[in-house]
Chains A and B, each alone.
Chain A
């Protein structure tokens, strides 16, 4: 199995245009392919079309918030790893956020986000191999 990062497709869900552009660029620099969505509903249709390997999910968004969106994504595909990526720590107290594989509070330093993406994709490809 080819484990080069470019194999992996990340869905980035983020309503803020500037942040979306920044995170997209940074993730592309890491060698991933990235598709984006600006709210929860859009994320659901993008996910259905592109079948991402991992989702980075903002919480506070118009139209549909990230927690509700995540639950629906997981209903469609319970195996896709989701990283909650929000400016607020308080959503951790919500049980519905516990379905996420990781919870990262937004930071100008993206090291934690990148590392988490890498680890989760590695974990996923390991378990894929086990299945195969």
Chain B
């Protein structure tokens, strides 16, 4: 996976030295030796590798209110998905598949579950080789506040960058489902001599008003960046499409540090998309759009389309799960070239039991996780989480069950998300009468019923 940049690309330091910092000409350290150093661990072969001079800062601090009640007890990146996975596993898998092995996960709200997951699933890194994954809660070094926004989260962790002094910082969000090779984007960043590179997908211009949209010139340099524009700019030579930001950024470290310091001194929302990036573009920083190259080579994705999903709402979460269970899944978990790593659950393999002619189990288009037992029940287009048990004559359709859910005999469940440790008594019906369901559960505007974790039902 290592993809060291070609020797002729500009060195880390040259792009910094060229232009005076617009932040502050006084403090511009003309005599500063801004050499990237790896503070911890040995450096592996190929000391010039840009990947080794790069730190990932993964922002996992949002409240995830729109995913409530799935986020009642956990941060959004920690929400289970696809049976065995957590949402954050996709971004982290992209990191290791891209050769990025210095990762800081910035948490804030309800971080316990996430911390545990990372400990259990992601302790894959070798400190001797300078690799690490660190989970960092707000430390309140010299500030008395929680993270006010994405840029403030970086500002409050400047000390972490100080320790490492990487040449580049990859800023990611923990709530997207996609396969991306960040090393290709890093090569692009270096080749362009960029201060900031923003990964973008093409969206039809008609839908662009919902996103952060970049206007670019022929060289892909961003000339304007606007959130939710009324008159979205289009891609040069492609008037039906616009470049939409994916919230994936690569910064040259010095520029990042200066820009977040500048932003924090002003009255803004301290958000990259709303404040920092528009300001950088206005002030003439070298900001480039990198067109997202999809590493998900599923045959079910139509040619010319890419797979990238933002898990913002119950509906988008539900759809992303359903993308995994189709006969030919949109998102390919089987591709050995881009494996998605997850926590390995101990326990026996799934079992499917029959008890005679009237209790023959029927399971189609579904994912069964470790330790599942389906006993004489019907499961269609569903994801059954680890150690869940579905009893005879029950029917589960178009649903997502988390870990340790027990579905009693004769239950009928349709279009529902059942969180962990819920015992559903025999004969219960969920998803067939939404008005009735809404009295007990959360029902999304699209009619998806969510039963919260550990809810006691009679």
Contact = CB atoms under 8 A, between A and B. Distances in A.
Mutual binders A and B? yes
Q: Which 7 A-B pairs have the closest CB atoms?
A: A71-B142, A102-B26, A92-B29, A103-B27, A95-B162, A95-B158, A78-B265
Interface string B245-270: 00000000000011001001100000
Interface in A73-132: 74-75, 78-79, 84, 89, 92-103, 116, 119-120
A95 B32 CA distance: 11
Nearest to A78: B265
Nearest to B158: A95
Interface string A44-57: 00000000000000
A98 B32 CA distance: 12
A93 B29 contact: yes
A95 B264 CA distance: 14
Contacts of A102: 24, 26-27
Contacts of A68: 142
B141 interface: yes
B80 to A, nearest CB: 37
B31 interface: yes
Contacts of A99: 261, 265
B248 to A, nearest CB: 23
A98 B265 contact: no
B33 A93 contact: yes
Given A94-B162, A98-B257, A71 B141 contact: yes
A103 B142 contact: no
Nearest to A112: B26
A93 B32 contact: yes
Interface string B1-37: 0000000000000000000000110110101111000
A94 B165 CA distance: 10
A49 B444 CA distance: 53
B264 A78 contact: yes
Nearest to A67: B142
A98 B27 contact: yes
Contacts of B142: 68, 71-72, 75
